[in-house]
Structure 1
Amino acid sequence: MKAMMVLVATMVAGLSQGALMRGATAQDANIVAGRAYAVEVCADCHAVLAGEDLSSRLGATAFQEIAETPGMTEYALSVWLQTSHPTMPNIILEQDDMRNVIAYIRSLDRRP
């Protein structure tokens, strides 16, 4: 899973930094709603809370680690969340949920 994230981040790094998710901006996102969605939907497999580093499902990357992956932009997360993964259920997020989850994941980045 980590290799997949790095691959996606690398692919996206070459794209324009001004690319936005279907016209949405970070200001449209709700971090609290994204956290609630992650706890409800994603926490069965992923460690989703700040400071958690051990997911309950082997191979499910912790959201903290995702947030701190170099090159992990809003756009990279959008691509990643819309791409099928063999070890992940095919969850289709509504655009608002996706923006909120992305904002939440990005809020977990502790790097300076």
Structure 2
Amino acid sequence: MEQDIAMRAAIIAVIAGTTATVPVVQAQDIRHGRRLALEVCAICHAVLADQTRSPVAEAPSFETVAVTPGMTAMALNVWLTAQSHPTMPNIILSRTDVQDVSAYILSLAE
């Protein structure tokens, strides 16, 4: 619970400090984002719909992230492109990959 609050606070702080705009993500990007999530993120996170338990207990499921109040594509894009995350390995994704993973995560809220 404390980590969820810390994650939300970090996301909000990063968003407040940026003026970057994020292009609209196309629906077809969701499949690519899902593949990336399975390849890159699933080692720590539960990345599939209805998967509630992450391999790393402290890592929130993507579904939990998706339903976080106020979660947006911009928030996810900023979080995934920030230089350092004390609770995550430093994974480097292209801008398109970040947008695709963000689109996939948000699709889990639907």
What TM-score do the two structures reach when normalised by structure 1? 0.82
> After the TM superposition, which segments of 4 or more aligned residues of structure 1 sit over 3 Å from their partners?
8-13
Q: How does 1:24-63 map to 2 (within 5 A)?
A: 24-27=23-26, 30-63=29-62
SS of the aligned residue for 1:27 comes to coil
Unaligned runs of at least 5 residues, structure 2: none
TM-score, normalised to structure 2, is 0.83
Instruction: Output the CA distance in 1 between the equivalents of 2:87 and 2:12.
Output: 21
Instruction: Report what 1:78 is aligned to.
Output: 77
How far the C-alpha of 1:39 sits from its partner, in A, is 0.2
In structure 1, distance between residues paired with 2:28 and 2:91: 19
What is the aligned partner in structure 2 of residue 68 from structure 1? 67
Q: What letter corresponds to residue 3 of structure 1 in structure 2?
A: I
The answer to whether the 8 A contact 2:81-2:98 is kept is no
Are the aligned partners of 1:44 and 1:56 in contact in 2 as well (CA < 8 Å)?
A: yes
**When the two structures are aligned, how many residues end up with a matched partner?**
105
Q: Which amino acid aligns with 2:31?
A: V
SS at match of 2:52: coil
RMSD of the TM alignment (CA)? 2.2
Residue of structure 1 in register with 2:94 after alignment: 94
Partner amino acid for 2:30? I
Q: What secondary structure, in the 3-state scheme, does the structure 1 residue paired with 2:26 have?
A: helix
- Compute the displacement of 1:20 (Å): 3.0
